[in-house]
Amino acid sequence: MIKTLETEIVIVGSGPAGATLAKELSKRRKKVVLIERGRREIKLGRMKDGLRFYEKHTFQKSKEGTVLYGTNMVGGTSVVASGNALRCSQKELLDLGIELENDFLEAERELKAAPLPDKCISEGARKILESAQALGLQPKRIPKFINPEKCKICGYCVMGCRYNAKWSAMNYVDEAVKDGAALITQTKAIKVLTAGGKAQGIEAAGPDGPIKIMSDIVIISAGGIQTPIILQKSGIINAGKRLFCDPWMTTYGITKNLNQVKGVNAPGYVLKPQRFILFPVIDPPVQFLLYTGRRSLFGRFPRQKALGMMTKIADEPVGKVHLNGCIEKPITSKDKEKFKEGNRLVKEILIKAGADPKSILTIKQIRGPHPGGTAAIGEVVNNNLETAVKNLFVCDNSVLPEAPGLPPILTIIALSKWLSKKIASI
Ligand SMILES: Cc1cc2nc3c(=O)[nH]c(=O)nc-3n(C[C@H](O)[C@H](O)[C@H](O)COP(=O)(O)OP(=O)(O)OC[C@H]3O[C@@H](n4cnc5c(N)ncnc54)[C@H](O)[C@@H]3O)c2cc1C
């Protein structure tokens, strides 16, 4: 016999979206079950930890070779985030009738989003930001959800924070559980159960076999790649189109004596809205070696003397996630123009900051950290984030119709807070 549970609301996925929904709805005394495919990871902060929780224990790639990030664990991809708390898509969502100002303010307060003090910023990153200023690019310090008192400046935010200095959606999951939500881990939602055009619950696979969770309301928050797969399996066949991923490329240059190793990544940024954002960043050692290859191995490209910057663009939403998990994500000619312009500025900044012009190396591997768009408002969900199936909602990066080209966690949290109020009143 298939194990069956009953609840009022089932939420799939415990990333920033699912965790916020669970927290807000259980605070409002709703009976919530939150199911998560991954585990609660205890060991964080090292390369081998990082690899364990990425999709397929490595990095999933599109057919064209772009890496598409997503982690399977309690807290979702926020656990490996760099801690950047920028608002994005606020105006676009307002144009769709979704007013988020108060929810943004609440999220910023809860995450204590603020720029970091100088002690957390490496000499190299500081020099990069000064050089961008000297070139008239008006760099700004970025608000972070990192507590500078606890931060040990190890530079490994993207492997998860072992010092508990960085906020992650795990914090919200804990609050939800305290308020009565049931968290079921290592359980993968397969599809939504429906009858008469209405959601009835979900079918999932757990460590002890299949499980059904019957509920009046179902919310899918499994991230930009997995959400459309669950929807397609549930008969919503127009999900999976319009994939964007805010892809990035990294450029490095070697200096005489400056480095970025002892500091948090991306303490500041240069922004050209709707085109690109530029951040000072340096890859963790194994990735640095992997991407700089023979130059590193033969000692010509020492990480300790490298300055690095990322060009992250707002890409065209032309990708697709197929039912069988295959992903298409072409980089269009418009995307290539944005990369060209951003990379040219990055090169200028790095040289101004002291990098040897002959050493400048732009890594060819394109990486997409924010997959979304695959259940877009206006296409797959309406502006209440409800699908054509009554009481089946989607809330995560998938519902954004256009690539923000900016870190989306704050927006996802604000949107989830907004939706919680709507759902609580059903
Ligand atoms: C290296 C890196 C750094 C980043 N830094 C930042 C940053 O500084 N600031 C920022 O704003 N953004 C950052 N991002 C992006 C940000 O982390 C994501 O955009 C955000 O976490 C997406 O939230 P989500 O809730 O949509 O999905 P996710 O966080 O991906 O959560 C989805 C959850 O659903 C679970 N799940 C998937 N399928 C199923 C299933 N079938 N059944 C049950 N559970 C399932 C997954 O295991 C996961 O826990 C970064 C991303 C990366 C990769």
> Global pTM?
0.97
Q: In this structure, what token pair is assigned to residue 310?
A: 């990322």
In the beta sheet, which residues pair with residue 11? 34, 219
Cα pseudo-dihedral 93, 97, 102, 103, rounded to 10 = -60
Q: For residues 229-238, give the mean pLDDT.
A: 98
Q: For residues 264-291, give the mean pLDDT.
A: 94
Identify the residue whose tokens are 């927290």.
23
Q: How many CB atoms lie within 10 A of CB 252?
A: 27
Q: For residues 231-254, give the mean pLDDT.
A: 98
Percent of the chain with pLDDT strictly greater than 90: 90
Inter-residue contact 316 to 334 (CB < 8 Å):
yes
215-230: pLDDT as tens digits: 999 999 999 999 999 9
Q: Is the pLDDT of residue 48 over 70?
A: yes
Tell the residue nearest (CA) to atom 47 of ligand 1: 72
176-187: pLDDT as tens digits: 999 999 999 999
Ligand 1 pocket check for 40: Cβ under 6 Å: no
Percent of the chain with pLDDT strictly greater than 70: 99
Domain boundaries, the chain: 3-112+167-238+374-424, 118-142+248-314+332-365
Is residue 319 very low, low, confident or very high in pLDDT (cuts 50, 70, 90)? very high
Enter the DSSP assignment of 212.
E
In this prediction, residue 58 carries a pLDDT of 60
Ligand 1 pocket check for 251: Cβ under 6 Å: no
In this prediction, residue 54 carries a pLDDT of 77
In this prediction, residue 348 carries a pLDDT of 98
60-103: pLDDT as tens digits: 899 999 999 889 999 999 999 999 999 999 999 999 999 999 99
In this prediction, residue 97 carries a pLDDT of 97
Q: Is the pLDDT of residue 57 over 60?
A: no
Q: How many CB atoms lie within 10 A of CB 91?
A: 9
CA of 398 relative to ligand 1 center, distance in Å? 11
Inter-residue contact 241 to 320 (CB < 8 Å):
yes
Tell the residue nearest (CA) to atom 6 of ligand 1: 81
Is residue 293 very low, low, confident or very high in pLDDT (cuts 50, 70, 90)? confident
168-212: pLDDT as tens digits: 999 999 999 999 999 999 999 999 999 999 999 999 999 999 999
359-418: pLDDT as tens digits: 999 999 999 999 999 999 999 999 999 999 999 999 999 999 999 999 999 999 999 999
Ligand 1 pocket check for 87: Cβ under 6 Å: no
CA of 388 relative to ligand 1 center, distance in Å? 25
Is residue 47 very low, low, confident or very high in pLDDT (cuts 50, 70, 90)? confident
In this prediction, residue 138 carries a pLDDT of 97
Ligand 1 pocket check for 391: Cβ under 6 Å: no
Is residue 52 very low, low, confident or very high in pLDDT (cuts 50, 70, 90)? confident
Phi, psi dihedral angles at 321 (to 5 degrees): -115, 120
Tell the residue nearest (CA) to atom 49 of ligand 1: 76
In this prediction, residue 55 carries a pLDDT of 63
CA of 255 relative to ligand 1 center, distance in Å? 35
In this prediction, residue 261 carries a pLDDT of 92
Index of the ligand 1 atom closest to the CA of residue 84: 8
Ligand 1 pocket check for 20: Cβ under 6 Å: no
**Calpha distance 173→356 (Å, rounded):** 47
Phi, psi dihedral angles at 342 (to 5 degrees): -65, -45
Q: Is the pLDDT of residue 318 over 90?
A: yes
CA of 111 relative to ligand 1 center, distance in Å? 17
CA of 21 relative to ligand 1 center, distance in Å? 14
CA of 394 relative to ligand 1 center, distance in Å? 14
Inter-residue contact 159 to 80 (CB < 8 Å):
yes
CATH 3.40.605.10 fits 3-112+167-238+374-424, yes or no: no
